[in-house]
């Protein structure tokens, strides 16, 4: 799947959450065992002309790599997510 939107069409938010505030659909409780520091969550959302909402979530949970999740209309998608900016080389 590939969509292209301008930066002005994307809403961005950054929040800190504690492990007990996390949605178990996004992060299984076993992944959060021993996590005592706040979790940094960065969210980018876009709603297209048909009302479909795309939500990208990046969670820093104290592991080697951040956890990245893509949701479309509140459904979690499987697969690797790659975000590019407008200055990225075209394929």
pLDDT digits (tens, 9 = 90+) for 3-39: 788 899 999 999 999 999 998 888 888 888 888 899 9
Judge whether 1 lies within some domain: no
Judge whether 87 lies within some domain: no
**Residue range(s) defining the domain that contains residue 13:** 7-76
- Number of domain units in the chain: 1
Long-range pairs, 48-57, Cβ under 8 A, ≥24: 48/3, 54/3, 56/81, 56/83, 57/26
pTM of the entire predicted model: 0.76
Please compute Rg for the chain using Cα positions: 14
Judge whether 2 lies within some domain: no
Judge whether 86 lies within some domain: no
Sheet holding 53-60, edge to edge: 11-17, 39-47, 53-60, 67-72, 75-76
Judge whether 91 lies within some domain: no
């Amino acid at each position: 799947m590939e969509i292209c939107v301008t930066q002005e069409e994307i809403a961005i938010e950054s929040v800190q959450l504690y492990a007990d505030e996390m949605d178990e659909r996004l992060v299984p409780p076993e992944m959060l065992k021993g996590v005592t520091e706040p979790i940094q969550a960065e969210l980018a959302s876009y709603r297209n002309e048909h009302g479909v909402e795309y939500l990208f979530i990046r969670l820093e949970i104290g592991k080697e790599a951040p956890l990245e999740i893509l949701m479309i209309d509140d459904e979690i998608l499987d697969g690797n997510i790659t975000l590019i900016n407008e200055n990225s080389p075209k394929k």
